[in-house]
Structure 1
Amino acid sequence: MTRAFDAAMDRFRPALPLGVALSGGADSTALLHACAERFPGQVHALHVHHGLQVAADGFEAHCRALCERLNVPLRTARVDARHAAGDSPEDAARRHRYEALRTLAEGENRGGRADDIRRAGGQPALASIAFAQHADDQVETVLLALSRGAGVAGLAAMPGHWRRGGIDWHRPLLEVAGADVRAWLSARGEDWVEDPTNTDERYTRNRIRARLLPALEAAFPQFRDTFARSASHAAEAAVLLRELAEADLQAIGQPPRIAALRALGRERQGNALRHWLRTVHGTTPSAAQLGELLEQIAACATRGHRIRIKVGRGFVVREGDGLGWYN
C-alpha cells in the first residue's frame, strides 16, 4: 500500500528551499517525513495556529516535538481565523491559513516581520510550499462542488501545482489514497494528532467523508481515478473559458461597455462578467445574481435604463454607457 505514496514523492521535484504545511495530522506528518528524507537541510515546517479550538495549543506542541526529532526548522503563525457574519467558517479559515503560510514563507529577508509570526532570525525565503491533500480530499472537493451547483471552475477541484506571489504551491499527494498515506506513516512507527472537528458531521465535507466515500468505495472501487480525470477535464475547460473571457473583455472593455456586451451571446456575456467581477473586483456572483444581471443587460436598450443589482459583496450599476461596481 505504500508504493503509491513513494511513487508520488519520487515525482515531486519542487524548487528549494521547501516549506511543508504542517497541522500535526497524519497526512501532513507523512509529507514532512518524506520531504525531510528526500531534501535534507532544505525543508522547513510551517504551522498555523488558528485559535479556533482548545486543542490547538496541543497541535502546535506536537508539531514542535516532531520537528525537533526530524531536525527540521519550524515556523509558526497565530491568526484570528474567526469568520464574519454570512461567511463560511471553512472558507475564512482557509483564507487566513494561506495568507499566514505566504508570510511565513517570505522569511525575514522579505516583507518584514509581523507581530503574530514567531520564528528564528535569519531564516531564508522559501521557493515552494507543499500541502498534504490526497486523492480522498480531491474526491470530497468535487462532491462538495457538485452539492453547491458549481461550474467547471469549481469542479476542477484542487490543482496539483500553481504559482502565486512568487511562490510555487504544490499538492504532491493528490493521486494517493488517504489510507495509503497513513499506511506509509504507520510503517515508520510515527504517531500523529487527530483533529476532533474532522468527525463533526455538521460540516458538509465531513458528512461526505463519513457517508459517501465508503459507499463509492463499495460501488465504484476506482472512483478516485475517475473523479481525478473528471476534475482534470473540468480544469481544461476552465482554462478555455478564462481565455475566452479575457479575449472578450479586451474587445468590450473593462469596465464592460453595455452595447458591446449585448452583441455577445448570453453565455459569453455571463462568462465575461464572471471573469471581470472575479479578477477586477474580487467577487463572484451567484447563479441567481448573474441571471438577474443578464436580464437587465438584455433590457438595457435605452440611455434611461438603470441597473443596480446586488452581486457578491457589492453592487453592479450602470455608469453612462458601461457597467461599474462598488461595495
Structure 2
Amino acid sequence: MVRFAATHPALPLAVALSGGADSTALLLACAERWPGQVHALHVHHGLQKAADDFEQHCIALCARLALPLHVQRVDARHAGGQSPEAVARDHRYEALGALAGQAGARTVLIGQHADDQVETILLALSRGAGLRGLAAMPAAWTRGGVAYARPLLDVPGAALRAWLRWRGEAWIEDPSNASEQFTRNRIRARLLPVLEAAFPQFRTTFSRSAGHAAQAQQVLDEVATQDLAAVGLPPRISAIQALSRPRQANLLRHWLWVSHAVTPSSAQLTELLDQIAACKTRGHRMYLKVGGGFVQREGAAITWHPPS
C-alpha cells in the first residue's frame, strides 16, 4: 500500500485530483484512511485538448468511489512575457482555494512525490537558483488562508504506479509530460535514470539537502525581517550601507518580495547594490529597472514603483 509521510490533517480534507497516477493514488489512500472525510477537487485548465478527458476520468473515478467531486474551469493561458508555469500555478491555487471553501475542507493535499522533488531541485540548479529555489517544494504551507500539504514527497513515482497497477486502477497520462521541449521533462527522461543507476539513494539525499536549504533560508528570512525593521520603510540608504554586502542583498530581496511581490534578477540586484554603495552624496540619482518596475532614490531612501 502507499505509505505517505505521517500527517494529521484537519478534517474534512480535500485532494487535488488531476486524474494522473500521483493524485489518483493519493485520493485512494486518503479515502481508505479517512472514510467519509475526503473530497476531490479538479481544476480544468483549458490548456490542451485532453483536458476534457481528464475531467471525465475524474468524474467517473469519484462516482465509482462515491466521493464528492468539485470541479472548476479556469482560463490559464499566459500573456506575452509571462511564465506559462507560473500563470497556470496561480490559477490552479486560486481555483483550489475556492473549491476547498465550497467543500468545507480545512486541508488540501497535493500528490507531488519524491521524483517531483528531485526534478524541482535539478531545475533550480539549472537556473542558478539560491537557497529558496534549492529548498524545492515544502511539505506543508498556507496560501490564501488554506492549509496545503504534500504527504508523498518521500514516495518514488514508480512505487505509486506499481501500487495502482496492483490494485487494477487506471489513470490518465498527461500528453505534455512526453514533450522534451520542457526542461522538467528532459530532466525526468534523461537525468533521473542516470541518477538511479549511479546513486540509488539520490531521492533521499537530495531531499535532505533541500531540507537543509529550507532551514538556512528560514534563518535568512528572520535576519532580513529584523534588518528591514531597522532600516525602515521605505529603506534608508545610509542604514542599508551599514550592513555587509551579502546582508544588503538578503535585505533587498526580502523587501522587494514582502512589500512588492517582486523578485530581482541576479544582474538587477548586483546593479542595485553597486548603486547603493556609490550613493554618497545628496545629488546622487538612482533609477534602476528591477522586476517589472523601477527602484529609485527619494530623498534619503529608496522606493520601488510599478511601470507607469
TM-score (normalised: structure 2) = 0.98
**Cα deviations by residue, 1:264-294 (Å, 9 ceiling, x for unpaired):** 1110111000001011100100000000000
Cα distance in 1 for residues equivalent to 2:178 and 2:110: 21
Aligned partner of 2:250 among 234, 257, 271? 271
**How far is 1:167 from its partner?**
2.0
Cα distance in 2 for residues equivalent to 1:127 and 1:143: 32
**Hey, what does 2:93 align to over in structure 1?**
98
**Hey, what does 1:88 align to over in structure 2?**
83
**Hey, what does 2:25 align to over in structure 1?**
30
**Hey, what does 1:214 align to over in structure 2?**
193
**Which range moved further: 158-167 or 253-262?**
158-167
Residue 309 (str. 1) matches residue 288 (str. 2) = yes
- Which amino acid counterpart does residue 37 of structure 1 have in structure 2? E
**How far is 1:183 from its partner?**
1.1
**Hey, what does 2:105 align to over in structure 1?**
126
Q: Secondary structure at the match of 1:187?
A: helix
Aligned partner of 1:151 among 130, 136, 140? 130
Structure 1 unaligned blocks of 5 or more: 108-123
**How far is 1:165 from its partner?**
2.9
**Hey, what does 1:261 align to over in structure 2?**
240
**Cα deviations by residue, 1:232-266 (Å, 9 ceiling, x for unpaired):** 00000000000000000010012210010011111
Aligned partner of 1:55 among 50, 56, 59? 50
**Which range moved further: 169-178 or 32-41?**
32-41
**Which range moved further: 179-188 or 200-209?**
179-188
**Hey, what does 2:161 align to over in structure 1?**
182
**How far is 1:168 from its partner?**
1.5
Displacement over 6 Å in runs of 4+ = none
Cα distance in 2 for residues equivalent to 1:238 and 1:184: 36
Q: Secondary structure at the match of 1:325?
A: strand
- Which amino acid counterpart does residue 136 of structure 2 have in structure 1? A
Residue 74 (str. 1) matches residue 53 (str. 2) = no
- Which amino acid counterpart does residue 98 of structure 2 have in structure 1? T
Q: Alignment identity in percent?
A: 66
Aligned partner of 2:7 among 7, 12, 21? 12
Q: Secondary structure at the match of 2:167?
A: coil
Cα distance in 2 for residues equivalent to 1:48 and 1:286: 31
**Cα deviations by residue, 1:23-48 (Å, 9 ceiling, x for unpaired):** 00000000001111111111110100
Aligned partner of 2:116 among 126, 137, 145? 137
Structure 2 unaligned blocks of 5 or more: none
**How far is 1:103 from its partner?**
1.1
* Corresponding residue pairs, total: 306
**How far is 1:185 from its partner?**
1.3
**How far is 1:85 from its partner?**
1.1
**Hey, what does 2:219 align to over in structure 1?**
240
- Which amino acid counterpart does residue 37 of structure 2 have in structure 1? Q
**Hey, what does 1:202 align to over in structure 2?**
181
**Which range moved further: 294-303 or 79-88?**
79-88
Q: Secondary structure at the match of 2:92?
A: helix
**Which range moved further: 225-234 or 180-189?**
180-189
- Which amino acid counterpart does residue 12 of structure 1 have in structure 2? T
TM-score (normalised: structure 1) = 0.92
Aligned partner of 1:229 among 208, 224, 227? 208
Cα distance in 2 for residues equivalent to 1:230 and 1:149: 16
Cα distance in 2 for residues equivalent to 1:235 and 1:286: 20
**How far is 1:314 from its partner?**
0.8
**Cα deviations by residue, 1:171-198 (Å, 9 ceiling, x for unpaired):** 0000000011111111111000100000
**How far is 1:164 from its partner?**
2.9
Q: Secondary structure at the match of 1:285?
A: coil
Cα distance in 1 for residues equivalent to 2:101 and 2:216: 33
- Which amino acid counterpart does residue 27 of structure 2 have in structure 1? L
**How far is 1:130 from its partner?**
0.4
Matches within 5 A, 1:277-292: 277-292=256-271
**Cα deviations by residue, 1:98-146 (Å, 9 ceiling, x for unpaired):** 1110111111xxxxxxxxxxxxxxxx42100000000000000000000
Residue 171 (str. 1) matches residue 166 (str. 2) = no
**Hey, what does 1:115 align to over in structure 2?**
none
- Which amino acid counterpart does residue 28 of structure 2 have in structure 1? H
**How far is 1:307 from its partner?**
0.9
